[in-house]
Amino acid sequence: MFASSQKTAKLAIVDAWIVKQPAPIDQGPLSLVEKPDPVPQGREIRVAVSTCGVCRTDLHLAEGDLPPKHPGVVPGHEVVGVVDALGPEAKRFKLGDRVGIAWLRHTCGTCRFCRQEKENLCDSPRFTGWDEDGGFAQYAVVDEAYAYSMPSGFSDIEAAPLLCAGIIGYRALRRANLPSGGRLGIYGFGASAHLAAQVALCEGAEVHVMTRSQEARELALELGASSAVGAYDQPPVKLDSAILFAPVGDLVPVALEALDKGGTLSVAGIHLSDIPSLNYADHLFQERSLRSVTANTRSDGEAFLGWAATHHLKVIATPYEFKDAPKALSDLAHDRVNGVAVLKL
């Protein structure tokens, strides 16, 4: 069976969306092309993609905020599917297993950050849908060490957002140093935010949401937030911690000013517009902290997926047909997606 699947992989031609030329999303930077079906090498597995989440990072890639690492890269790093071919050294999974492919796909394992269990800061990492082709395609390959077993209880459409929106939101929450029973502010309420909010609420936090979308504010209240106001409005209470999910640098001083003494702001995005000047007394004094979030470790991924497997987590997902990938990104850019956009293959 394995030899047969490899032979088929070498001959097959499959459809994939590529970033042909970065440009504003409504100018059509994506192109649908035919590519040779990838053949897994070494410890790689090949995944027949069933769904792929559409992340704001994919939008940054398409529009050039993140310059593509090579021409014609296939976006998508929230990939769910089944293993349908194995490299000659792959042993972790078997054919037919449901797995996920996330953003982090390779680390060196030898730099000082990897040795300190900080592989998200690796000196020579590679990322799915940026350095290597991702899941806006019928098939994707990944080293088995960087794939995840997906928790049961979630459909493929619900499972895809867990692989980035969920994992990064989880790390951002941990980086925010939220005390037990503390008050958490969330700025922007999309894919990651609506999942991180549920984790915080389940752990006993009081959550306050600041976002420009009325629909998102309604969702926040439905999920259990204590308040939901405009993006630049002050919450009704001082915050112990805050997470900035919106890629808007102007919100950094707004969020810092909302913090109580000793509070921490965690900035979750891979891209952020310029931050205006800060006033030390208003924004940083009294031991307020500003922290960034850079990718995630595999330990973060395993911890979050383990949490999701044992807790009720409501994933708000909007499915799109594979042919509508450009529309999904356009809707994301224009705040027309409530929750997470997910491509169906």
| The domain defined by 2-163+315-344 carries CATH number 3.40.50.1400 | no
- Contact predicate 202/195, CB 8 Å: no
Q: Is 192 left (phi over 0), alpha (psi -120 to 50) or beta?
A: alpha
Every domain range in the chain assigned CATH 3.90.180.10 = 2-163+315-344
pLDDT for the residue numbered 11:
52
Every domain range in the chain assigned CATH 3.40.50.720 = 167-292
Span 79-94, pLDDT tens digits: 999 999 999 999 999 9
Confidence of residue 256 (pLDDT cuts 50, 70, 90): very high
In the chain, how long is the greatest CA-to-CA distance? Answer: 67
Q: Angle CA(266)–CA(297)–CA(317) in degrees, nearest 5?
A: 70
Q: How confident is the model over 317-329, as a mean pLDDT?
A: 97
pLDDT for the residue numbered 1:
35
Span 138-182, pLDDT tens digits: 999 999 999 999 999 999 999 999 999 999 999 999 999 999 999
Higher pLDDT, 45 or 270: 45
Q: How far apart are CA 195 and CA 199, in angstroms?
A: 7
| The domain defined by 167-292 carries CATH number 3.30.70.100 | no
- Contact predicate 186/216, CB 8 Å: no
pLDDT for the residue numbered 10:
47
Q: Which residue has the tokens 């470790």?
A: 297
- Contact predicate 294/121, CB 8 Å: yes
Instruction: Give me the helices (H) in 13-130, please.
Output: 56-63, 112-115
